[in-house]
Each structure stands twice: as C-alpha cells, then as structure tokens.
C-alpha cells in the first residue's frame, strides 16, 4: 500500500538525527528498473527551496534512479550554501547506491538521477554530517517492504502517514504513493512531498502528461490555509518492472486516483482542523471561474471560523464570491450548506436551522447560475488549535 | 472631535430596538448647509448591500442632506425587499427632516438626498417598524454636540467608538469624522462605515477627488482579515458653513489625515487581535507591486499566527512574497522585523534573537531590491480570540 507496492522499487525510512526529537527523518526510494522514467511537478512559489531547484533539473533529464527525502528542515532560503548541500546529498546517494549495484537492473546511479526533497522550517541549514551518514544507513536498509517506513520518515506535523495505491486492469500494473503535508497547504500544490511509483512501462513524456492532469484537479485544489510552500514536490517514477505498457487513459486515471486519495488524506490531517470542507462551485461559465470562486470561498477566514462554530453563515459565502471576477449576477446566486439551499437568488432561502453540521465533512455548494462548468476545492475550518500550532513554536 | 466639530452639522445616536441587546443602534447626521455637497466611496465587493446600492445613487446626484446609519443588521443579500426597506428609510428621514425645517438653511430634504448605511449580520431583514419610528426619535435629538452619540450608535463588535478631526490653516475650516469597523476588514475598504464632514466650502467634484485620494492610501490599505464586506461606505459631506473656500492641497491633506487616523483606530480595535502589524514594502519596481506584496504578506495566516506567538518567522514572509507577480529576484530579498534584518539576500541575516516583539505594534519591512517604490499595509495577528469571536455566534 505504498511506494513499494509496484514492482521494481525499494525504500527505507530511518532516524538520521536531523529532527531534534530523534524521530524518523530520512527516507530513500530506489527505482531498480529496468526503466527509470520520471516526471515531477513543483511549487509555483517563486521562492523555491534548494531541493526544488535541484530536482527540477533532475526531472528535466528525464530519469530518476532514487529520491532522498528529509523532514526536520526545508533547506529553503538558505542561499548558495543550501544548494551546495542539496548537491552533496545527491552525490552521496549516487555514490552509496552505485556501490550497492547488483547487476540486476541499471547499475550506476549518477547524482543527476537523484531527486531531493526536504520539509521543515525555512531558513535553517541542514546538519549535513548527519544527513550524509544517514544516507548510507538508509541505503543499507532498503527493502521491497520499506514503503511504510519511508512514509513515516517524511512526516512533520502530520499525525498519520499517508499512502495509497491503485491497480490497473487485471492487476497488470500498479501505482503506489506516499505523501506528507499538514499545513501551508495551498494551491500550486500544498506543503507536500509526494512520491508516486509505478511498475507500468511508461515513458517520461506520458508520465508528465498524466501527472500534470492528475495534480491539476487534486493537489492543486487543496487549499487548507491559503499559504503556498517553497518546497512542494510531487514525483512520479516508473520502473517498467511489470513488463506491461498500459493504455494511456486507464494509467492516467490510476495516477489521478492515487493523487485524489492522498489529497483527501492531507485535508483530513490538516493542522488543528475540526472540519473538512468540500466546496463545489456549479453553474459556472468556465472551469477557471469555478476554481477562482472556490478558492475565494476556501480562503475566507470568517467563513472558516463560522463553519468551525457549525454556523451555516451563507452571507460569508456570498461576500467571498463577490470579491471575484467570475461571471455571475448577485441576485441569481444560490448557496447550499450540507444540501440545504439556505441562499436562493442572492437572498435567504430555506431555513438555516435545517442544516446539520455536526459531522466532520461539511459540503458548501455555490451555484453561480451562469453556465455548466464546475470545480471542487477542499479546505478546512479555522480553529484555535490551528492558531496554537502555528504560533506556539516555529514550523 | 467628530462629525459635529465642523460647523453646519447636527447628529444624534439612539437606541431604536434594532439590536437585540437594546444598545444604541441608529445614528443620524444632518447637513444644515448652506451647501450640501457630497462624495462617497463604496465597497468593491460585487455583492453589495441594499443601502450601498441606494447611497451610490444618492452620491451620483451630488448632494447629501442627511445620512441614516444603523447597526444591528447589514440589510445585505435581502433581495428586492431589502432595497424597498432602504428606500423607505430614506423617505421617512426626508419627511421627518423636512418637517423640522427652520428656514435657516436649505429647508426641504428629498429622499434622493438621504444616504443610508447599515452594518451587522448579512441575510436578515431589518425590523422596519422600529427603524422608522427610531428615525423620528433621532431627528428630535439632533444636536450640534451629537457627534459622539452618533459614533457610539454605529458600533457592532467595536470595543470603542472612533472619531477624528483635522483643522485647516488658521482654523478657517475643519474636517471631522467617525468610523465603525472591527472585523471583515479588507481592501476595497474594510467593513467599515465612515462619515466625514467639513465646513469648508468645497464642490462635490473636489470632495470626490480628495476622498478617493485619501481612501486609496488609508482605508484601502487596511487588511485585517482579508475579508471584504458587502456594506463598506465612506461618505464626505461639505456644509460650506465656514464660508471659506480652501486651497485643494491642504484640504485633501486634512481629509487624508482624518482617514489615516480612523484607519489606524480600526486596526487597533480589530476582532481578537493582540498585535497591530505595519507591513512596509520598499525597493519595489512600482507602487502596484508594493501593494500586491504587502497584501500577500498581510493575508498569510501562518505569518499572522507566528507574529501572535512573537516568532520572527521571516521564512513565512518570503513564501508570501513568492506567491506574487511582483518584480524581484528571490536571492536579493531582504526582510526586517522590528528593524532587525533577519533575512538578507533571500537567506538568513541578523540573529533572530535580536528581535523584540513584546509590544503591540510589529513592523515588517520587505525590501524587494527592485526599484524605489513603496507602500504600507496594515494588518493584525491571527489569534484564538479571533476564531472564537467569529465562530461562537453569527456576526
């Protein structure tokens, strides 16, 4: 049920001493081939962490042999030193993994085939001695059953580790994945590190196409707190070990399914949240309009507080819609909360006392009455616990 | 020290029974002339409350004889009935005030000269019987010393009433003002109702020019919680009672001064806030860039939480800057918190332990190193008290 479910992958997760609490903080994922095809999607933030800048270059090369991921430090805003540290991490992994070569798959690993992903506090350099010796230790523990341990090692404020899997027709191939992310979750991805693997035999160009299509409607529509990270990374690695070349559509659907599953898990574990809010915008003139309106609603702190208080405050939905440039007429807007249409034609509708908001999942439906397009955005409520988690200590 | 400081104005504030707690909830401001020139600036939200739609029409006519303001209900998203209620409010005020005419100033008041402003919960109709009888009561209490009472009657979650005044050269004329606003404070004004008065003899076109220039750099740069209201209204009324026609520049400066004073008071009274945050963006290629970056920083929930926790978390400033389209190079960005440059050239700078954040006002300076333009945006921290105020009951 993770990155080692597809054939051709090994993984490990260990405690390298990067985190001060001594917990697992270093993960390694190895693609044993025969293929090393890969694709990646990264944060849209213009302030990018060193590992993002590095891994973008690796993906451009079209092959990923291994991924090194660490929690305990984002290596963002760390200047030239930070980039050197990421480079040294990739060099070390290449050296260690090449020494392990068995002759079974592609043997040598070049530093340019090692992607790096980091998560944790911005503006702090990593303890490189511990990280580099940790890579040796992790390589020694690489296992075809190591996926869960790897998923555990990338957690930061996550309360649970996140993994998912989808299987192709007849079980001919699988897509597996792991994710971390609990705060700074916003579009252009969230603060998330995600590694997806597949044993399907797919070329990098098709991996890229499938991954972009999948993230566009899953991770990109998770907007927990409106804050876009410097480190977001989603990688998709194909080993080809199943020996099956899949048709594009079912493969892309499996990738989307794993991304959607992981995205939903991210929302379910968002910092301090007590409600998962599914915002569906319907009746939009365009999908872009639907997404713009959904994001505006998702980012309205007053609405997020109201939902925390189980108050179906549809006026805050309307005032959020009103700040967008989407096509709509104010007096034609309709809003449902948990399927009760509390706002009709821009004014009060059904009795708000009919809305039952006791459950964790809350559904907000905004009908723009301007067309046939729609989109779903996920967010969370805003709680005192969120404030506490993000004010009581640096993260 | 309020709307009745300038000559030619009378005001009243009473309890009409609109608020369930029986507190003051209805204010009336009368321009006794000889001039009735006026200008107004309204919310940029496309979902506009009925009184905003009405008052925009009144301002277009160029004359305001009186303003009726109520707390206890926003009359927003109330459909055609809401607009009829606003219309009836203006008709009633015109009737009552015309009956009071003394022959001193312009006597008759037409409904088209009565602006209306409302604040409170969205989506609820006003108790019109109480409101209309309240207008008669307020008119009977109109006084040249009624400014403070009027300011008290427009409070919602405000803990204090807000007034300000500025005087022209040699005391020849004055500008006075009152404001309400404590939450849903965001650009395109905040949830604020503001009435400014002056006894300077100024035509509507110049009032409009001075008011737009003033609000652009004051109320429009208050961004307490990123939520834009449906009811924001800023009115400027000139009575001409001083008999002095001022030069434009000092008059515009006095209007700006009163707006800046009131805007600062709004930030100081924002719901649940424990810190007032002054974000100054310098070194920008354009003023628009500076404003865009300032707003992005002001809306970053994670930074707002960090400042609440007195944590100089400059990484969250950088990640907010990185989401904008402003001109900058990530490795040239500098950030100071309370004048300590904790980030230099996109990486760590001075020791963050040097930052003293114990006081209520916190200064964040972001240097884009891309030009000579700058802008100041004000916001507040994000606190558990904010969450409580906005989740525990409808507002």
Please report the ipTM that was assigned to this predicted complex: 0.86
Q: B312: how many CB neighbours lie within 10 A of its CB?
A: 27
Separation of alpha carbons B84 and A143, rounded Å: 73
The confidence score (pLDDT) of residue A187 equals 37
Whichever domain contains A14, its CATH number is 3.60.70.12
User: For the residues B25-51, what does the mean pLDDT come to?
Assistant: 95
Are B384 and A382 within 8 A, CB to CB?
A: no
Return the DSSP state at A47: S
Which tokens belong to A392? 């009581």
In the predicted model, residues of chain A with pLDDT beneath 70 are 102-106, 182-191, 392-395
Which residues constitute the domain of residue B331?
276-391
Return the DSSP state at A103: S
- Is the domain of B337 the same as that of B384? yes
- Is the domain of B282 the same as that of B217? no
- Is the domain of A292 the same as that of A240? no
pLDDT band at B275 (very low <50, low <70, confident <90, very high): very high
Q: Is position A249 annotated in a ligand binding site?
A: no
* Exposure b/e, B111-128, CB count within 10 A at least 16 = b: bbbbbbbbbbbbbbbbbe
Q: Judge whether B375 lies within some domain.
A: yes
* Nearest one of B102, B33, B94 to B67, comparing CA atoms: B94
- Is the domain of A248 the same as that of A130? yes
- Is the domain of A153 the same as that of A24? yes
Determine contact: A337 vs chain B, CB below 8 A. Answer: no
Q: How far is A295 from chain B (nearest CA, A)?
A: 13
Q: Which residues of B touch A387 (CB under 8 A)?
A: 305, 308, 382-384, 386-387
- Is the domain of B122 the same as that of B256? yes
Phi, psi of A52, deg, nearest 5: -70, -45
- Is the domain of A292 the same as that of A211? no
Q: Judge whether B250 lies within some domain.
A: yes
Say what percent of chain B tops pLDDT 90.
77
Strand partners, B277: B362, B379
* Nearest one of B145, B185, B184, B178 to B162, comparing CA atoms: B178
Residue of chain B whose alpha carbon sits nearest to that of A47: B322
Separation of alpha carbons A97 and A139, rounded Å: 7
Separation of alpha carbons B254 and A323, rounded Å: 31
Note the pLDDT tens digit of each residue in B230-256.
Answer: 899 999 999 999 999 999 999 999 999
- With tokens 């985190």, the residue in question is A19
Side-chain half-sphere of B223: how many Cα atoms within 13 Å?
A: 24
Indicate whether B168 pLDDT > 90.
Answer: yes
- Is the domain of A205 the same as that of A289? no
- Is the domain of B63 the same as that of B188? yes
Catalytic member of A86, A191, A230, A379: A191
pLDDT band at B63 (very low <50, low <70, confident <90, very high): very high
Separation of alpha carbons B86 and B283, rounded Å: 47
Note the pLDDT tens digit of each residue in B260-274.
Answer: 999 999 888 887 889
Omega cis (within 30) before B374: no
Judge whether B197 and B29 are in contact, CB under 8 Å. Answer: yes
* Partner B, chain A 33-92, Cβ-Cβ below 8 Å: 44-48, 74, 76-79, 81-82
Q: A353: how many CB neighbours lie within 10 A of its CB?
A: 9
Q: How many domains does the structure of chain B reveal?
A: 2
- Is the domain of B97 the same as that of B180? yes
What is the rounded end-to-end Cα distance, in angstroms, of chain A?
Answer: 29
Q: How far is A370 from chain B (nearest CA, A)?
A: 15
- With tokens 């099956």, the residue in question is A244
* Partner A, chain B 263-322, Cβ-Cβ below 8 Å: 299-302, 305-306, 308-309, 311, 313-316, 318-322
Judge whether A311 and A296 are in contact, CB under 8 Å. Answer: no
Q: Judge whether A3 lies within some domain.
A: no
Mean pLDDT, all residues of chain B: 92
Q: Which residues of B touch A343 (CB under 8 A)?
A: 77, 123
Phi, psi of B34, deg, nearest 5: -75, -20
* Domain end (from B240, B268, B296): B268
Which tokens belong to B277? 């945050």
Indicate whether B332 pLDDT > 50.
Answer: yes
User: For the residues B80-103, what does the mean pLDDT come to?
Assistant: 92
DSSP states of B34-99: S--EEEEEE---SS--HHHHHHHHHHHTTB-SEEEEE-SB---S-HHHHHHHHHHHHHHHHHHHHH
Which tokens belong to B98? 């015309």
Phi, psi of B85, deg, nearest 5: -65, -40
The confidence score (pLDDT) of residue B158 equals 85
Are A226 and B46 within 8 A, CB to CB?
A: no
The confidence score (pLDDT) of residue B395 equals 52
- Report, in this order, helix, strand and coil percent for chain B, each rounded to 5: 35, 25, 40
The confidence score (pLDDT) of residue B190 equals 39
Q: Judge whether A169 lies within some domain.
A: yes
Whichever domain contains A329, its CATH number is 3.10.20.340
Separation of alpha carbons A377 and A226, rounded Å: 12
Helices (H), A269-382: 287-298, 301-308, 314-321
What is the rounded end-to-end Cα distance, in angstroms, of chain B?
Answer: 29
Determine contact: A329 vs chain B, CB below 8 A. Answer: no
pLDDT band at B187 (very low <50, low <70, confident <90, very high): very low
Indicate whether B50 pLDDT > 60.
Answer: yes
Q: Judge whether A306 lies within some domain.
A: yes
The confidence score (pLDDT) of residue A385 equals 85
Q: Which residues of B touch A322 (CB under 8 A)?
A: 45-48, 228, 230
Q: Judge whether B330 lies within some domain.
A: yes
- Is the domain of A295 the same as that of A255? no
* Domain end (from A268, A287, A308): A268
Judge whether B87 and B15 are in contact, CB under 8 Å. Answer: no
Q: How far is CA A201 from CA A62, A105, A174, B222, in A?
A: 14, 14, 11, 55
pLDDT band at B186 (very low <50, low <70, confident <90, very high): very low
Q: Judge whether A4 lies within some domain.
A: no
- Is the domain of B332 the same as that of B306? yes
Note the pLDDT tens digit of each residue in A113-160.
Answer: 999 999 988 888 999 999 999 999 999 999 999 999 999 999 888 889
Strand partners, A178: A163, A195
Are B306 and A390 within 8 A, CB to CB?
A: yes
What is the C-alpha R_g of chain A? Answer: 22
Helical (H) or strand (E) element with A69: strand A66-70
Q: Judge whether A67 lies within some domain.
A: yes
Helical (H) or strand (E) element with A129: helix A128-140
* Domain end (from A268, A299, A325): A268
Task: Name residues whose C-beta falls within 8 Å of residue B60's C-beta, 6 or more positions apart in sequence.
Answer: none
Catalytic member of B191, B230, B233, B383: B191
């Amino acid at each position: 049920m993770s990155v080692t479910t597809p054939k051709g992958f090994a993984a490990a997760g260990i405690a390298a001493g990067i985190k001060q609490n001594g917990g697992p903080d270093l993960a390694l994922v190895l693609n044993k081939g025969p293929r090393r095809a890969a694709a990646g999607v990264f944060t849209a933030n213009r302030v990018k962490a060193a590992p993002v800048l590095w891994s973008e270059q690796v993906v451009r090369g079209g092959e990923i042999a291994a991924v090194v991921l660490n929690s305990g430090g984002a290596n963002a805003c760390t200047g030239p030193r930070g980039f050197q540290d990421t480079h040294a991490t990739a060099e070390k992994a290449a050296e260690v993994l090449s020494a392990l070569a068995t002759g079974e798959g592609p043997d040598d690993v070049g530093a340019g085939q090692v992607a790096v992903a980091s998560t944790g506090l911005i503006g702090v350099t990593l303890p490189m001695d511990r990280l580099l010796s940790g890579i040796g230790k992790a390589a020694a523990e690489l296992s075809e059953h190591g996926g869960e341990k790897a998923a555990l090692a990338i957690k930061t404020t996550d309360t649970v580790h996140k993994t998912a899997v989808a299987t192709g027709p007849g079980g001919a191939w699988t897509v597996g994945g792991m994710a971390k992310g609990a705060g700074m979750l916003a579009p252009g991805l969230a603060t998330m590190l995600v590694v997806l693997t597949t044993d399907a035999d797919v070329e990098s160009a098709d991996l890229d196409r499938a991954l972009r299509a999948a993230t566009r409607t899953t991770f990109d529509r998770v907007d927990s707190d409106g804050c876009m990270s410097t480190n977001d990374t989603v990688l998709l690695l194909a080993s080809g070990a199943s020996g099956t070349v899949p048709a594009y559509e079912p493969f892309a659907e499996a990738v989307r399914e794993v991304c959607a599953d992981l995205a939903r898990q991210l929302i379910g574990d968002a910092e301090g949240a007590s409600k998962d809010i599914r915002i569906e915008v319907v009746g939009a003139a365009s999908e872009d309009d639907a997404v713009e309106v959904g994001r505006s609603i998702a980012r309205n702190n007053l609405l997020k507080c109201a939902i925390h208080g189980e108050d179906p405050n549809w006026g805050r939905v309307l005032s959020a819609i009103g700040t967008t440039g989407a096509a709509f007429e104010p007096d034609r807007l309709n809003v449902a909360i948990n399927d009760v249409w509390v706002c009709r034609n821009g004014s009060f509708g059904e009795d708000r006392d009919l809305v039952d908001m006791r459950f964790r999942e809350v559904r907000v439906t905004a009908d723009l009455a301007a067309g046939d397009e729609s989109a779903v955005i996920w967010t969370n409520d805003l709680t005192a616990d969120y404030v506490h988690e993000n004010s009581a200590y640096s993260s």
